[in-house]
Structure 1
Amino acid sequence: MADSLRDVVARHGLAPRKSLGQHFLLDEGVCGRIAALAGDLTGKHVLEVGPGPGGLTRALLARPLASLLACELDDRAIAALAEIGDPRLTVLHQDALKLDAVAALPAPRQIVANLPYNVGTPLLIAWLRHAAAFDRMTLMFQLEVAERICAAPDTEHYGRLAVLSQWTCECRVLMRLPPGAFTPPPRVYSAVVDLVPRAAQPEPALLAAMERLTAAAFGQRRKMLRGSLKSLGDAEGLLGGCGIASDRRAETLSIAEFDALARALLRRDA
């Protein structure tokens, strides 16, 4: 490209805003690596959230995707993205939290994004509710969030986000990036997480039951399950029916055990 990403930032006055959780990735080589991690994009309709000056946007458009929808809240970035001039690119000036990604994109759909730090987790949870609609999600988060998504049971980072993510998707960390890769450097490392939706996805009612279950179970992490699940009704009966000891804590349960509890909760409350 004629101009570097730093030239684009300077020309459009795109000083990163803390209020928007912005940390721009201006290394074109790293942007290209992230686009490659998304796999074969041939014929795919891709959503990117928080493109900023468009480094990852340009890297994605260098691949054979069918279309790219870039959702950007910062009005300063809209003009910068308009300079790209690729007919496959549509720039949407909108809050991504209010975007219906399934309705906005035809199939086959993928999401590839360096997510703004302040909205990464709520965006992911919203997309997980419709995981069946996406072929794959390749997303950058703060490293701590990435570790929470991929955590194993009975480890420091295992919690509600791990259960919801791993129940619906195969999850793995693909790349870690140091603070110095970004402008301005954040205080923490970042990581790219690969989420591939499982072939069998929960029905909406079962997903709602799992959200209720995990909210209660991890809402009071130090409590035994018989206490933390009390808000759901007969906790002892629910746990006993699944062969789970009531004195265990939420962080010790496997994804399969949470699945069994969610299904039992759904049957009981039907």
Structure 2
Amino acid sequence: MSFVKPKKGLGQHFLTDQNIARKIVDSLGSDVPDILEIGPGMGVLTQYLLQRPELNVHVIEIDRESVAYLQQHFPTLQHIWSEDFLKADVAGRFDGKFNVIGNFPYNISSQIFFRVLAWRNRIPETVGMVQKEVAERIAASNGSKVYGILSVLLQAFFDIEYLFTVSENVFNPPPKVKSAVIRLRRNQVETLPCNENLFIQVVKAAFNQRRKMLRNSLKDLCEALPAEFAEKRPEQLSVSDFIRLTGMIENLKNNKA
């Protein structure tokens, strides 16, 4: 097998530029040896990962044709999982920490980041190529129009770096949008100083009705929102503001109980 046909249903756009592939792999700087590549396709990143002797490379690929290609062309690649990343118990297969890298399929990139978030204490670093607007959203600061749920939840636990933009012309087939590479590095926050489940609820409820003031979007979680937040909209709040607001709502709930 000399070629894998990209499958639209799997959101496959194979990177063809070797320099960009090498640059993505070089962006991975953590000293954790175990690395998981999501959706390797024909191995454009895999080849450079395998050139780094300090890495123990694992790949997970849902496309069986790609799996067959990888087995044929990368005989030294010992860990190939022919599975759906969104359904597999990936974290359970590593004894300790592991990093994540990949040209993430556009149609599931947000879901991938939510899984990284869930396994945040196991994943020190993630380097991923995604749709440019998703990368901008993840890296956005409060006040930005694209600041949202992913921005707040990921920035609470990771330092985010927007590394570089990638043209649509270096893919087969070319996507209709530009791409970007971002890097997430686990910060020093072990646990938030508030109820983390409530924090997620507050952030999601606020941005699900982002045009409304918080006193309206959060009324199901808190009947009388603290005055300093009541008239604000979610994009005006920093990550630390959301943490503080969650703590206030938690105290109000406890006092009411």
Superposed pair shares fold, TM > 0.5: yes
Alpha-carbon distance between aligned partners in 2 of 1:159 and 1:235, rounded to the nearest angstrom: 23
Query: Aligned to 1:191, which of 170, 175, 180?
Result: 180
Larger mean Cα displacement after TM superposition, 15-24 or 257-266: 257-266
Alpha-carbon distance between aligned partners in 2 of 1:47 and 1:64, rounded to the nearest angstrom: 15
**Equivalent AA in structure 2 for residue 151 of structure 1:** A
**Equivalent AA in structure 1 for residue 107 of structure 2:** N
Deviations along 1:202-236, one digit per CA (max 9) or x if unpaired, are 36983321211111101111111100101113242
Query: Aligned to 1:181, which of 170, 190, 201?
Result: 170
Structure 2 residue 244 is the aligned partner of structure 1 residue 260: yes
**Equivalent AA in structure 2 for residue 175 of structure 1:** F
* Aligned residues of 1:73 and 1:94 also touching (Cα < 8 A): yes
1:33 is matched with 23
Alpha-carbon distance between aligned partners in 2 of 1:233 and 1:265, rounded to the nearest angstrom: 6
Alpha-carbon distance between aligned partners in 2 of 1:53 and 1:186, rounded to the nearest angstrom: 17
Query: Aligned to 2:9, which of 8, 19, 37?
Result: 19
SS of alignment partner, residue 106 of structure 2: coil
Query: Aligned to 1:64, which of 48, 53, 74?
Result: 53
Alpha-carbon distance between aligned partners in 1 of 2:23 and 2:182, rounded to the nearest angstrom: 13
* Aligned residues of 1:46 and 1:105 also touching (Cα < 8 A): no
Alpha-carbon distance between aligned partners in 2 of 1:154 and 1:74, rounded to the nearest angstrom: 40
Which ranges of structure 1 fall in alignment gaps of 5 or more residues?
Answer: 1-7
Distance apart, 1:145 and its partner CA: 0.1
Cα 1:234/1:24, change in 2 over 3 Å: same
**Equivalent AA in structure 2 for residue 22 of structure 1:** Q
Distance apart, 1:100 and its partner CA: 2.6
Which ranges of structure 2 fall in alignment gaps of 5 or more residues?
Answer: none
1:246 is matched with 230
Tell me the TM-score normalized by structure 2.
Answer: 0.92
Distance apart, 1:175 and its partner CA: 1.6
Alpha-carbon distance between aligned partners in 1 of 2:123 and 2:59, rounded to the nearest angstrom: 16
1:85 is matched with 75
Tell me the TM-score normalized by structure 1.
Answer: 0.88
Distance apart, 1:131 and its partner CA: 1.1
Alpha-carbon distance between aligned partners in 2 of 1:75 and 1:174, rounded to the nearest angstrom: 31
Alpha-carbon distance between aligned partners in 2 of 1:98 and 1:267, rounded to the nearest angstrom: 36
* Aligned residues of 2:162 and 2:182 also touching (Cα < 8 A): yes
